[in-house]
Amino acid sequence: MAVQQRKTVVTETTKTETTTTSTKNVDHQVGKTWGRDRDVSFGTILISLGILVMSPIWVCYTYISCNGYECAMSAPALEIYNAPDALVALKTLLARELPTFSPYAARLFFTWLTLQAVLYAFLPAQIGYGQRTPAGHLLPYKVNGLLAWVISHSIYAAGGLYFGWWKLSIIHDNWGGLLIAANAYGYFLTFFCYIKAHLFPSHAADRKFSGSFIYDLLMGIEFNPRFGKYFDFKLFHNGRPGIVAWTMINLSFAAAQYEKIGYVTNSMILLNLLHATYVLDFFYNEDWYLRTIDIAHDHFGFYLAWGDSVWLPWLYTLQSHYLVRNPVDLTPIQFAFIFAVGFTGYFIFRSVNHQKDIVRSTNGECMIWGKPAKVIRTSFVTSDGKTHKSLLLCSGYWGLSRHFNYVGDLLISLAMCMTCGTKHLLPYFYIIYMTILLLHRIQRDQTRCKGKYGKFWEEYMKVVPYKLIPYVY
């Protein structure tokens, strides 16, 4: 391999500061392509198996806690623990509390899925582009989620309030049956994508084979499974049936609370407001989402297929399930405090993500916090052997830490949970989960970016040493 001089690369848009270092040419590309050919250890396979088995059990457990025990998380476990015969108690509990199949709920779920697929495929759309994939593809995506959200919610509201086709609490009222239907679909999609990846992949060179069936099933093989040019499985399932439903589920649970106690608590209103802000922001900035880790990094397996179909709609909305069973009336000070935490988080989240987007779309020719953006100009090689250019922002929020956007997300998540008061732990599942997810994501991203950018990433880590919170972590 040639040894050559490399230009680094802290650029202020008007002034280029250049240091010269000796390094091997594209040394980060040798042998493996970044994001591919991962060696999977036995430990990773065991953890993967644990996730495959435990995730559905956990979703069912939370359903049982809420449905039968007013969302008291420990209650079902204690009932079994305290029973003279734990096995008999477990069987009795499951027979009594497990959700059952309902043809009506199944029709509801599959009508919803079909509606979202039709809206995704046929609504007018802008075409957005993701990041270049490791095999060198730059894929187009249909960006029309905001319109799909508006139409879906209009149908839901008109059907419930004007035509009387259903009660607004329809989702709450069919929650168990919907859970069964969503699971059936989530599993079908997981296995379908596993088989598709082997038999008729959309982009064969962008597949990742780990050598482990369990790991491949969990994390996926295909990077961008598609039907035709535009029906992208990842964007559709990440962004449509589950996320459009997120706000609708909350509204339905708010309607159920109204039916139950005669009014909607201010905590439920605040929760709906926080979730709606997050969801609408997602759709308003859908084009930005194409260049986040979900789309630019993750392959499509159980993690996303089942996760988007079941985990997200069931667990991200836990707080509204809780508030139906345990109405909380916040004092004006509590309300104002939670509102402030939530919207401070949102402000940070949006501003950080916007800085990255703007610096990339202007190729670094922009102002960040009133000063020319400081960037590290990088290059990387895709598996087709071509070299591409990119840049890493290292001023503004991105100079504070490498993932300051996660701080914003954690604050919003905390505020969502705080709407439920402090009586029970279950509604705090979301912030606990988000903390684990994002801390783990920092590690994953670190591995990926190091593989992709090599020495440039190390340079960046020296300029921006903190991962999340400046001077702390």
Distance between CA atoms of 61 and 78, rounded to whole angstroms? 13
Distance between CA atoms of 37 and 166, rounded to whole angstroms? 50
Q: Does 303 bind ligand NDP (CB under 6 A)?
A: no
Distance between CA atoms of 454 and 38, rounded to whole angstroms? 16
452 with 29: CB under 8 angstroms? no
Task: Categorise residue 127: left if φ over 0, alpha if ψ from -120 to 50, beta otherwise.
Answer: beta
Q: Does 64 bind ligand NDP (CB under 6 A)?
A: no
Distance between CA atoms of 203 and 194, rounded to whole angstroms? 14
| 214 alpha carbon, distance to own chain's centre | 22
Amino acid at 22: S
Nearer to ligand NDP, 197 or 290 (CB): 290
Stretch that binds ligand NDP, among 179-187, 265-273, 339-347, 397-405 (CB under 6 A): 397-405
Nearer to ligand NDP, 127 or 293 (CB): 293
> Residue 349 CB, nearest distance to ligand NDP (Å)?
5
> Residue 172 CB, nearest distance to ligand NDP (Å)?
22
**Helices 455-463 and 429-453, axial angle in degrees (round to 10):** 130
**Helices 266-284 and 318-325, axial angle in degrees (round to 10):** 160
Three-state DSSP at 18 gives strand
Stretch that binds ligand NDP, among 79-87, 102-110, 227-235, 440-448 (CB under 6 A): 440-448
Among 318, 393, 415, 420, binds ligand NDP (CB under 6 A): 393
Distance between CA atoms of 405 and 239, rounded to whole angstroms? 19
Nearer to ligand NDP, 322 or 349 (CB): 349
Q: Does 398 bind ligand NDP (CB under 6 A)?
A: yes
Q: Does 445 bind ligand NDP (CB under 6 A)?
A: yes
> Residue 462 CB, nearest distance to ligand NDP (Å)?
13
Nearer to ligand NDP, 234 or 403 (CB): 403
Among 53, 138, 204, 293, binds ligand NDP (CB under 6 A): 293
Q: Residue 104: which H helix or E strand, with range?
A: helix 103-122
Quick note: the x/- pattern for ligand NDP over 107-136, rule CB under 6 A, is ------------------------x-----
**Which positions touch ligand NDP (CB under 6 A)?**
131, 291-294, 296, 349, 353, 356, 390, 392-394, 398, 402-403, 405-406, 409, 441, 445, 448-449, 452
